[in-house]
Chains A and B, each alone.
Chain A
Amino acid sequence: MSDYIIETSGLTKSFKGFTAVNGVDLRIRRGAIHALIGPNGAGKTTCFNLITKFLEPSEGRILYKGEDITRMKPADIARLGMVRSFQISATFPHLTVLENVRVALQRPLGTAFFFWRSETSLDGLNDRAMQLLDEVGLAEFAGAQAASLSYGRKRALELATTVALDPEVLLLDEPTSGMGREDIERITSLIKRVAVNRTILMVEHNLSVVSELSDRITVLARGQILAEGSYLEVSSNPEVVDAYMGSGHA
């Protein structure tokens, strides 16, 4: 088996003539925490959308565990064990916090189309759901509507929902954006814990989070890979510094 769990070759996406992602060859090592960084508009989210098939690539190929997934549907990608989060927190706002996690847990039951069965048949999942909520510090909010949570807690809920599927690969799009310091620390240690036996591809602007978590970093600028390596290698690369300075980042 290949060392790389995700491999893209020549991945390209054009929006009406504008090329957002341009010939990206990405290789994500199994078990790694891999960060994808770059200035605003570099094409990071678009890369996520392509890899998880929320967008059709204009060109290029995507391999997952050596299997070509370039023509697959996004829901099937998730079923293969590659689950993404979204840049803007994605919960089910009018479901309870518990139900949010349970929607993920219920999928393997295979009863998702059973409209004649009572929802009490899902109660067996409540313990596992509470356990997942407890891990992200949300147990006391289990009965509240997701919409009523603070932003940081919504992101924690999103992570718990993603982990509920027990995915092999997690793609996290800016998991700490818009958070205060305490929340950032909580999420960071949570990601560390979740990363055990899993692969994580993560877009992140907060460079201290990146340096703390990632084994490897790919820098994207204007849709192309600018540099790749460890945090030290990348942060001392003058081109990278330039790209960041140019767009007003520290």
Chain B
Amino acid sequence: MKRTDINTAGGSPAQGPGRFNSSTILYLVLLALALVAPAVLYPIFLVKVLCVALFALAFNLLIGYGGLLSFGHAMFFGGASYITGHAMLVWGWPTELGILVGVVFSTLLGVVAGLIAIRRQGIYFAMVTLALAQMVYFIFLQMPFTGGEDGIQNVPRRAVFGFIDIANDTTLYYVVLTIFVFGFLFIYRTIHSPFGQVLKAIRENEDRATSLGYHTTRFKLLAFVLSAGLAGLAGATKVVVFQIATLTDVTWQMSGEVVLMTLVGGLGTVFGPVVGAAIIITMQDYLATFGEWVLVIQGVTFVIMVSLFRRGVVGEIAALINRVR
């Protein structure tokens, strides 16, 4: 009776062992594709997609499985990138410790923000997270170590564990891919754990979960903190890749972008956020010459996609496969 669906958010009919094999094969094929991807596409483009996709995955853990819409996730993404950037540039910390301290920071920030926001429902939760993120933005803008409008620049790319030289873009790609796969598996396990079961139940019917004796706010808080930590991992990785931490990553636009990517890809689907991130980043790259118009084109695409594919790209494909079967 193990749930082995690869795409749908909630439960699905019990499937035989055959399905398990087919989804395992799918994962292996995707991994193989990811391994050879740098031969075809620019590693830096791929790395950017991976970082942002990890951010979207973290966000999706919260909304897709916890039913909580955060509109302030940039505080974790951008916050961690500042802390990691500072630790590596000023304190001279090695890459792995730099990333770690960024993740610790965003996790702790997640505890604080979560405790304040988690009791609010629906749109009020979104508003409180937005307000908190704006405060964090303001604090980072004022603090001297962030370099204000300039950000933290020239963060060194130190060899990982002292011997994996990430100055080379292809090597860097594989390091980031490893981090991404770790994040992906972490989320996958979380969703498919005893905790994940209760979290989904709470998303489905919070009052009923309460009546069964679950203190629902504690579960939502844990989901929030895990999501914050993973968003931080994405932000910390990004600063290592691009060697710069800027205000852009803590703005509300960044919080909005991750909502966009998740919705376009498919909310509450395992791969949706990855696909959504790839689509949005590709669009931004190809449309860069249009300047400010990128935002307009993005907005229009978003409206069209959300009205045509309510479940997002991956969600629609999954629904199609289920119908055919």
Contacts and interface: CB of A to CB of B under 8 A. Distances in A.
A36 interface: no
A86 B207 contact: yes
Contacts of A113: 194-195, 218-219, 222
A245 interface: no
Interface string B219-234: 1001000100000000
A99 B11 contact: yes
Contact of A115 (B9, B14, B201, B222): B222
Contacts of B194: 106, 109, 111-114, 117, 119, 121-122
Interface stretch (B30-38, B80-88, B139-147, B209-217): B209-217
B14 A143 contact: yes
Interface stretch (A89-97, A210-218, A224-232): A89-97
B190 A115 contact: yes
Q: How large is the interface on A (under 10, 10 to 19, 20 to 34, 35 or more residues)?
A: 35 or more
A40 interface: no
A191 interface: no
A119 B3 contact: yes
B323 interface: no
A78 B211 CA distance: 6
B2 interface: yes
Contacts of B192: 118-119
Given A102-B197, A103-B198, A106-B198, A145 B213 contact: no
Given A96-B12, A98-B1, A116-B193, A78 B208 contact: no
A75 B197 contact: no
A94 B12 CA distance: 7
A74 B222 CA distance: 20
B205 A75 contact: no
A117 B197 CA distance: 11
Given A115-B193, A119-B196, A92 B208 contact: yes
Contact of B13 (A90, A117, A143, A165): A143
Interface of A: 52, 54, 73-76, 78-79, 83-86, 90-96, 98-99, 102-104, 106-107, 109, 111-123, 126, 142-146, 161, 165
29 contacts: A54-B207, A54-B210, A75-B213, A75-B214, A78-B211, A79-B213, A83-B211, A83-B213, A90-B208, A92-B200, A92-B209, A94-B9, A94-B10, A95-B10, A95-B11, A95-B200, A95-B201, A99-B3, A104-B212, A106-B197, A113-B218, A113-B222, A115-B189, A117-B193, A142-B14, A143-B1, A143-B13, A145-B11, A145-B12
Given A92-B11, A96-B3, A113-B218, 5 more contacts: A92-B204, A94-B9, A112-B214, A142-B14, A165-B212
